[in-house]
């Protein structure tokens, strides 16, 4: 299992997590292609949100503060368990 270290944009973290905006895409780019990808999108509204990690944890930060840091297995178990 892999993890994710996510840095939300400045502002309201809940809006960034749960707001819906038409026309948004999430793209995974291998580290060795990051510079070329960013150059191809120069001038367009895009930003880096985070990176995949070897540690199986989801870490979410906003405005320099850690909001969440949980094991991926615990998140999977909670998702699969009925209310």
Q: Is residue 38 part of a domain?
A: no
CA distances for 49 relative to 6, 8, 79, angstroms:
6, 6, 23
Q: Is residue 79 part of a domain?
A: yes
Kindly tell me if the per-residue pLDDT of 15 is higher than 90: no
Q: How confident is the model at residue 24, as a pLDDT? A: 79
Q: How confident is the model at residue 16, as a pLDDT? A: 78
How many structural domains are present in the chain? Answer: 1
Q: Assess contact for 81 and 27: CB atoms under 8 A.
A: no
Q: Is residue 80 part of a domain?
A: yes
Q: Is residue 32 part of a domain?
A: no
Tell me the per-residue pLDDT of 22-71, one tens digit each, with 9 for 90 and over.
777 889 999 999 999 999 999 998 888 899 999 999 999 998 899 999 99
The angle subtended at Cα 29 by Cα 1 and Cα 61, nearest 5°, is 65
Q: Is residue 27 part of a domain?
A: no
Per the structure, the complete domain to which residue 65 belongs is given by 1-11+47-83
Query: Confidence class of residue 80 from pLDDT cuts 50, 70 and 90?
Result: very high
Q: Is residue 28 part of a domain?
A: no
Q: Is residue 1 part of a domain?
A: yes
Of residues 29 and 17, more confidently modeled = 29
């Amino acid at each position: 299992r892999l993890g994710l270290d996510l840095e939300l944009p400045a502002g309201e973290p809940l809006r960034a997590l749960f707001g819906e905006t038409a026309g948004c895409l999430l793209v995974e780019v291998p580290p060795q292609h990051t510079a070329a990808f960013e150059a191809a999108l120069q001038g367009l509204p895009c930003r880096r949100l985070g990176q995949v990690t070897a540690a199986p944890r989801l870490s979410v930060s906003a405005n320099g503060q850690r909001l969440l840091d949980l094991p991926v297995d615990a998140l999977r178990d909670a998702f699969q368990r009925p209310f």
